[in-house]
Structure 1
């Protein structure tokens, strides 16, 4: 195991965007301060012959500047007026990166304060390993840090937050929020037709599916619906065969997997449902899959991996052919990563965020056995730890998403 120290004892957490907050009776709405940025300023300066970098064509210079780390933008913007225009707005910065096809991964962690329960987003630049903040979600002040549904469309740089629990009355919410990394802003979307908390959610072919969960009266639901992000409209899909809240969910082979999950002591066998959007049909989850799903899941290389909460936090992978689980070769999650933790992935990397937002990064390697005719896949993992700065020591993780920008 390798440990990576990415910050000093009091390393700062930077704002990913420059924002101001205004209050409305129900929502806090984030607004980007654009008064300092005249869209015509850069054009006028370029026509005057002021280059981005002396001696380089502007297109080459822009390729260089858009690779500079975000945490140093406050310094870069002081170089000249054109640099100020480029680095003065993170929305403009990321929009230019999108135009030129940059796709660097960023880990968005939804966290809450240990004592107050106050929620906030922290963002880790997975290239520079520096932490940043984004504007607060425009939701009610008193919400529980658990119970939301989170989905993302990584290569479009957007994530959605749905439902949740209003903490002062314990009622579920029908709220839907969208965050765009390229503008660094939240938007309030059309509400779900049914208020939900602790429900399944996932993206299949660009469509966002939600299912089950707890209603505003805290009864378990069997209904499901789908959001078309382009149109912003919700439509019903087939109901599940049972009323069920979810412990974990995943999208595998174009299907939405929803598990009720194990709870200690193991008195009750967990339930699980699988939705196929092609047939608009639900079916019971395979026995081995639901009984061995004892932790938080990610999908890597077309396989379902679970960070188990009961077997010394070892990593295991599901074999659909045998309806069984195989241990992944390698050590368990490093001891520095304490529960509760949340899990996400990018390419062949798995990110486990624990207390104080320390992160275990697992490098997944795929191997093929030479001793079987079926050439069954085996996997191994090696871990390294990315320690968070002390300024994040009071935070606990709830969920995480990876976006590219």
Structure 2
């Protein structure tokens, strides 16, 4: 990312997602209400005499089938008509899982092919460590993921992809795409007020905040705005007070933390801003916090952790009281995980997805140290690596988002930008 510190100028930008643009989606959208939830469904009534699994009550059998990994659905649908009916629709399958109270985490990984530049979303089942796909985003194959920011709303089971850049014309994007897990489809949302790339993004109390970033010709922005996902509209919030792009972002204690990030060599100390939505004000980030923030972050146990991207350092955690970073006990990130990588977390585990989509899983544990003067909380980590299929050897991660498959549940940061792609313009249509 190039550092540019000059005032923002509002040059013309390309507004994408306008109604006059056309799109032929690569996936079909279900038009009918799921009959699985309708007890009067003729198909379901016709199969009532056929057990789901011979020798088991249907309630028990259904509980078993709901645990099948998605990658097995295609084969399992051939077992019988009821299995085909149950597993033939993701909408039906996930709705029933929600009813039964299943709570299984998935990691959604935004990747691109290093040779063709084609982008796609792959999904890692964190229970079975198996991969599957979701429908392609409504855009052309050669769209550069440079500068996209991705967030999710855990309780709603929705994933949002915002902004981006078309590098051929140095054109920032104002587009917002939404993926609905239960409908298994993408829709085009209302555009951001300002087109931007390499910006900060995060979710606070169900609201999506974006701030800063690059405008046309790499002019840096100081504006910020917020999206109400339910009402579907954006409104401006307080400006950052300084023009800056974002290297990484985190939400901690209900505030949005934005770091400009270190650039090698370390000639200039990075800047950082903190936004409080309650007061609608920005403050400068503490010196120790911004100067030690040298990688991609996650929040675990209410603490900010960073996986460094400049050298193979150990995981470190920020201590608010001393405004300093402390090394987490345990080994460094495994050598199999190569940059660029994206970082996310689920409960007390950190997931680092590296090049070729090898995944390092770090289990974070608390270590209580009882000193004579004070009791201080420390952390330790233990890593293990999940190797990716050989078919992923040419894929590179750009972002990763966590969704939980029943009330569904992504960290806003962790987007690595190391692309060598010749992109084309997005082609979007509101009539999905």
Q: Which moved more, 1:87-96 or 1:335-344?
A: 87-96
Matching of residue 383 in structure 1 with residue 383 in structure 2? yes
- Paired residue for 1:30? 27
Aligned-pair CA distance for 1:55 = 4.1
Summarize deviations over 1:32-86 as a string: whole Å, max 9, x none.
4679x8663443225x433323344433322221112222112221122111111
Aligned-partner Cα distance in 1 for 2:217–2:95: 42
Change (3 A) 1:354 1:208: same
Q: Which moved more, 1:90-99 or 1:231-240?
A: 90-99
The unaligned stretches of length 5 or more in structure 1 are: 1-23
Within a 5 Å distance, the mapping from 1:6-405 to structure 2 comes to 25-26=22-23, 28=25, 30-32=27-29, 40-46=41-47, 48-405=48-405
Structure 1 length normalisation: TM-score? Answer: 0.90
Relative to structure 2, which stretch is displaced further, 247-256 or 209-218?
A: 209-218
C-alpha separation in 1, matches of 2:286 and 2:186 = 39
For 2:275 and 2:118, locate their aligned partners in 1 and report how far apart those are by CA, in whole Å: 34
**Distance in 1 between residues matched to 2:282 and 2:336, nearest whole Å:** 40
Matches of 2:140 and 2:216 in 1, distance apart? 15
Deviations 1:157-191 (A, max 9, x none): 22110001123322110110111222211111111
> Does structure 2 retain, via aligned residues, the 8 Å contact 1:178–1:187?
yes
In the other structure, the counterpart of 2:413 is none
Residue 345 of structure 1 aligns to a residue whose secondary structure is: strand
Alpha carbons 1:111, 1:120 under 8 Å: kept = yes
The 8 Å contact of residues 98 and 182 in structure 1, kept in 2 or not, is answered as no
CA contact (8 A) 1:45 1:82 kept: no
Question: Is the Cα contact below 8 Å between 1:173 and 1:216 reproduced in 2?
Answer: no
Aligned in 2, Cα 1:389/1:71: closer, same or farther, shift over 3 Å? same
| Residues 142 and 166, structure 1, Cα contact 8 Å, conserved in 2 | no
| CA distance in 1 between partners of 2:383 and 2:140 (Å) | 38
Aligned partners of 1:82, 1:94: CA distance in 2, in Å?
16
Aligned residues: 380
Moved more, 26-35 or 285-294: 26-35
Which has the bigger relative contact order, CA under 8 A and spacing at least 6?
A: 2
In structure 1, the residue corresponding to 2:27 is in which secondary structure? Answer: strand
3-state DSSP of counterpart to 2:218:
coil
Larger mean Cα displacement after TM superposition, 168-177 or 141-150: 141-150
Name the CA distance, whole Å, in 1 between partners of 2:223 and 2:46. Answer: 57
What's the secondary structure of 1:381's corresponding residue?
strand
Q: Give the secondary-structure state (helix, strand or coil) at the position aligned to 1:61.
A: helix
Cα gap change, 1:79/1:175 in structure 2, threshold over 3 Å: closer, same or farther? same
CA offsets 1:380-405 (integer angstroms, 9 cap, x no match): 11100000010000001111011110
SS in structure 1 opposite 2:28?
A: strand
**For each residue in 1:323-377, what CA deviation from the matched residue of structure 2 results, as whole angstroms up to 9, or x when unmatched?**
0000001111111111111100000100111110001100101111111543221
With normalisation by structure 2, the TM-score equals: 0.84
* 8 A Cα contact 2:247 2:259, kept in partner: yes
SS at match of 2:239: coil
Partners of 2:203 and 2:292 in 1: how far apart? Answer: 24
The 8 Å contact of residues 271 and 290 in structure 1, kept in 2 or not, is answered as: yes
Higher mean alpha-carbon deviation, 335-344 vs 215-224, is at 215-224
Per mean C-alpha deviation after superposition, the further-off stretch among 75-84 and 327-336 is 75-84
CA distance in 1, matches of 2:123, 2:159: 13
Q: Distance in 2 between matches of 1:116 and 1:38?
A: 41
Runs of 4 or more consecutive aligned structure 1 residues displaced over 6 Å after TM superposition: none
Q: Larger deviation: 294-303 or 185-194?
A: 185-194
Query: Any gaps of 5 or more consecutive residues in structure 2?
Result: 1-20, 406-432
Partner SS for 1:31: coil
RMSD, aligned α-carbons? 1.8
Match of 1:385, SS state, is strand
Q: Per-residue displacement from partner, 1:189-248 (whole Å, max 9, x unpaired)? A: 111111110000000011110000011343111111111111111111111110110000
8 Å contact from structure 1 (residues 142, 168) kept in 2? no
